[in-house]
Structure 1
């Protein structure tokens, strides 16, 4: 069976890494950034380069790397937030005003279709193979560049693949193979030279990494069975869970919640019932709208539902198929031009497919 993961990760990656500020001085450099979010399929866009791979001041988009904390860790204040948010969602006031009517309708249609779509059956001894193709923006400052001059940066898109093997017994050993691919989209000739020179310096071991971990407990954190089981089955309670367990890193609770919900959907690990609840939770996030009725991502066409945080110059989109309940993928779009990237440019995307296999690398 081979199917695109549907609405229901996901960088885990952020796009758990929340969406980082590409131009703020507070954005961490590669040398000091937290361990990359393990998008079981990232983006998300996954940050696969090591400091040796990109030696200078490199900033990579798109997602967040902070793992969701357990519900049991909620403080009294967080629990109060949950109660307030649930009431607010029920009556249309409070923390969540909700998505547009058009987006809400499409998300509900997708949630219903998700329940009707069978999840892959993994027999004992087999593995669920979750394959992700991702592209993320890289903002690099060379040794002779002025870090305060945004126009001096080398900006290019870095492609990667991720293949996660999940055993039938999810507490068994998982295998995760990640490969950084040769960059092929550049926003200047200077960026092309920088990117290709950096790529040429990578050894085969730096381009492809294979990690193994019992129960999926990789350093950096994909969603484990315990994480998924801790998520409420009610949409309002689930959204409140994401608000209350935020570890920061985004410009608003809404941005953070949408990013982390996208991570779970993109991971390929959430069962159909949870995926449906996640879509209904998205419908409760303010400013989510339908941005494109016929959006193409990695050769597939779906409806783009997105949100632009008021503090951002880019928008985060989910590409879904409301008739099948399948999640085609995710993308980030530069809405307004910056010093390097033209307006309406896709600066990152991920697509995820799954199948069942009998062995791992």
Structure 2
């Protein structure tokens, strides 16, 4: 069975024993996308984000940028997921057929997104962004300089949160961000049993309302937030400065990540992070998908639900430490969430490969009152 057939095996049980030509297989896949066929569902797995104990307080803002999704009525995700290949995403040429299928799905999502427009934000109204997330929290004890051969010890948990943001029509005016802790920490792994592990504390920055012009919710943080910063994807100015052309968007992603090598995995990660910020205008999203389709090594993973239970198609790039997945609604082309799955050699050695370490559901709308979600 070739690599494309292996991918289709995860996506369409009817194709499990098929020896049809590649063109036939590809056609069947896209037909399944059109029909939103019922594909094998897997519960969420997990991602990594563990801090040294001493650095926990200083690192909380970085941590809250990571999301992990888990259904609130389910145990911490530990389901068996198709493991990452273990091959670096820097060698995408090893699976060209799989990459082609992923490109077709992204381009189809782009076609579905063409003509989509956002509801306008009028005077006195607010752009509303709702993110339901599971964040990774953890702690570790470092290796002593006197005993460098010691094994690092630690534990990792998931924390369910909701971030809501209200952005006024005039972005220079006061924004509101509300953070809520939705449930207790869930233990997903450690070098000691859960009963012998002390959970990390819930931080002050995990909850509460904060206001600030241009979204400057933490005015004492460094570097200082600049209103209208065209390099900050959490501000509308970034998108006004973003070219609306797939080739130029791809070049923009490459330039943004050059300090990290501009590898396919890094470019894909940044591309998803920008979508997850929830501010990309609908008219730009189609070409953003087309830009992501140009990244080598992206493959169709499976049908997957986001944190709020909306079903979509997950696409990602395999990596030694983790895989980052984009989840798209196949009926509308809408971006509905992101997840991260531990690879064969997770960042935290005590995490099982195939564990979900990030998950999110993102939705947007227009609110009439600061602090009140849209009626619909």
In structure 1, what is the equivalent of residue 22 of structure 2?
none
In structure 2, what is the equivalent of residue 210 of structure 1?
209
CA contact (8 A) 1:44 1:263 kept: no
In structure 2, what is the equivalent of residue 30 of structure 1?
56
Hey, what's the Cα distance between the residues in 2 that align with 1:360 and 1:23? 34
- Give how far 1:190 is off: 4.3
Deviations 1:257-303 (A, max 9, x none): 212211221122111121112111100111001011x2122212110
- TM-score w.r.t. length of structure 2: 0.64
In structure 2, what is the equivalent of residue 75 of structure 1?
none
- Give how far 1:167 is off: 1.4
Give the 3 Å change call, closer, same or farther, for CA 158–355 of structure 1 in structure 2.
same
Unmatched 5+ residue regions in structure 2?
A: 1-46, 70-95, 218-223, 226-231, 372-376
In structure 1, what is the equivalent of residue 246 of structure 2?
235
CA contact (8 A) 2:143 2:152 kept: no
Give the 3 Å change call, closer, same or farther, for CA 98–32 of structure 1 in structure 2.
farther
Hey, what's the Cα distance between the residues in 2 that align with 1:34 and 1:225? 25
- Give how far 1:43 is off: 3.6
Hey, what's the Cα distance between the residues in 2 that align with 1:211 and 1:291? 38
Hey, what's the Cα distance between the residues in 2 that align with 1:178 and 1:147? 40
- Give how far 1:213 is off: 2.4
Give the 3 Å change call, closer, same or farther, for CA 308–144 of structure 1 in structure 2.
closer
Alignment of 1:85-234 (within 5 A): 100-141=99-140, 152-181=153-182, 182-188=184-190, 190-191=193-194, 194=197, 196=199, 198-199=201-202, 205-218=204-217, 223-234=234-245
Give the 3 Å change call, closer, same or farther, for CA 158–22 of structure 1 in structure 2.
closer
Hey, what's the Cα distance between the residues in 1 that align with 2:368 and 2:125? 5
1:36 alignment partner, SS class: helix
> Which residue, 254, 260, 264 being the options, matches 1:254?
264
Which sits farther off after the overlay, 221-230 or 342-351?
Answer: 221-230
Aligned residues: 282
- Give how far 1:352 is off: 0.7
- Give how far 1:33 is off: 4.3
Hey, what's the Cα distance between the residues in 2 that align with 1:211 and 1:175? 6
Deviations 1:73-106 (A, max 9, x none): xxxxxxxxxxxxxxxxxxxxxxxx9981111111
In structure 2, what is the equivalent of residue 265 of structure 1?
275
- TM-score w.r.t. length of structure 1: 0.67
In structure 2, what is the equivalent of residue 316 of structure 1?
324
Give the 3 Å change call, closer, same or farther, for CA 261–147 of structure 1 in structure 2.
farther
In structure 2, what is the equivalent of residue 296 of structure 1?
305
Hey, what's the Cα distance between the residues in 1 that align with 2:130 and 2:251? 30
Q: Which of structures 1 and 2 has the bigger CA Rg?
A: 2
Give the 3 Å change call, closer, same or farther, for CA 247–163 of structure 1 in structure 2.
farther
In structure 1, what is the equivalent of residue 340 of structure 2?
332
Hey, what's the Cα distance between the residues in 2 that align with 1:122 and 1:195? 46
Hey, what's the Cα distance between the residues in 2 that align with 1:226 and 1:98? 38
In structure 2, what is the equivalent of residue 14 of structure 1?
none
In structure 2, what is the equivalent of residue 73 of structure 1?
none
Give the 3 Å change call, closer, same or farther, for CA 31–325 of structure 1 in structure 2.
same
Give the 3 Å change call, closer, same or farther, for CA 98–231 of structure 1 in structure 2.
farther
Alignment of 1:264-283 (within 5 A): 264-283=274-293
- Give how far 1:139 is off: 3.2
1:302 alignment partner, SS class: strand
In structure 1, what is the equivalent of residue 355 of structure 2?
345
Unmatched 5+ residue regions in structure 1?
A: 1-19, 47-96
Q: Is 2:368 the counterpart of 1:358? A: yes
